[in-house]
Amino acid sequence: MKKLINDPRAVVDESVEGFGMAHADLVDVHPEPKYVVRKGAPVQGKVALVSGGGSGHEPLHAGFVGLGMLDAAVPGAVFTSPTPDQIIPATTAVDSGAGVVHIVKNYTGDVLNFETAAEMAQAEGVAVRSVLVNDDVAVEDSLYTAGRRGVGGTVLVEKIAGAAAERGDDLDAVTAIAERVVANVRTMGVALSGCIVPHAGTPSFELADDEIEIGIGIHGEPGRHRIAMESADAITDRLLEPVLEDLSLASGDNVLLFVNGMGGTPQSELYIVYRRAAQVLAERGATVARSLVGNYITSLEMQGCSVSVLRLDDELTALWDAPVHTAALRWGV
């Protein structure tokens, strides 16, 4: 194993410290308990957005803290949920009195810990709403979830809900926008290789040189099936078909197409996947009105990608286009 680390036990501490130093114009890092907040938080009169989860998925979530997205991110250990002791102070730190929306990926640890934190924050007088992201169509249940996993669609929820909060929507309205995105986005992923959690030192799962895993989760959870390696177009078709079926996409729909890298796949290959997905959508009569391609919710150095499709309406499109200025996503500023 070769990794640019000092001590496997210090990976998250040192990474978050470095992130704060690199983006000191955008964020403040609270070292103990560990969380990241938007520079100048709380923003008076604005609903705050808080998310978090295990580290190893960077730039999710800290990379999306800033104008037009999150107000706070709470990083856990690698592939491990943050604790309520982190989530509670992050929540209270960004509350300006307008309330806080927790955006939670559907993993059992995240759900339980954010639920506990919400209850405690509410006891301290903070109005909290929770939105559960469960966009993965690959499986209904896994070792990590009850129901579908939250994966690439999380980025789209954070961006669009963040824009609603930035324009001044109240707590219920921001929550409703986030839930609307969740209801209209579906994702499926593929792994070409496993990844190595630093403190483990061995791959989280093994694939033969000629094997791929269709429907993999972002922690290496099992997918739908393991098959022989295929062409990029064939793999893209396998990912997109269940997404479109589950979304009940109709001819004439406008969509956002998001091809996300898992950390170890070159951008050039992601664009090959995007090319085929856009072709299939055009064949179905859908219009790709917006797009995003890149490594936005990763799994350390795992090779592979996911394809997300979000059905758009005029309001969701305008919120996607709204200005954003974070470490990992920025336009219109």
Tokens of 231: 């062409």
Strands 72-78 and 34-38 come out as: antiparallel
Sign of CA dihedral 101, 71, 324, 19: negative
Beta partners for residue 202, in sequence order: none
Instruction: Assess whether 199 carries a catalytic annotation.
Output: no
DSSP code for 302: B
Backbone phi, then psi, for 315, in 5-degree steps?
-70, -45
Instruction: Assess whether 102 carries a catalytic annotation.
Output: no
Neighbours of 293 (CB within 10 A): 17
Give the span between the Cα atoms of 66 and 327, in whole angstroms. 8
Helices (H) and strands (E) in the chain, counts: 8, 14
Nearest to 106 by CA among 46, 163, 175, 152: 152
Q: What's the first-to-final CA gap in the chain, in angstroms?
A: 41
DSSP code for 129: E
Give the span between the Cα atoms of 279 and 134, in whole angstroms. 26
Q: In this structure, are residues 15 and 142 in contact, taking their beta carbons and an 8 Å threshold? A: no
Query: Which of 23, 30, 57, 199 does the annotation list as catalytic?
Result: 57
Tokens of 142: 């896994």
Query: Which of 23, 61, 102, 219 does the annotation list as catalytic?
Result: 219
Strands 100-105 and 48-55 come out as: parallel
Active site residues: 57, 219
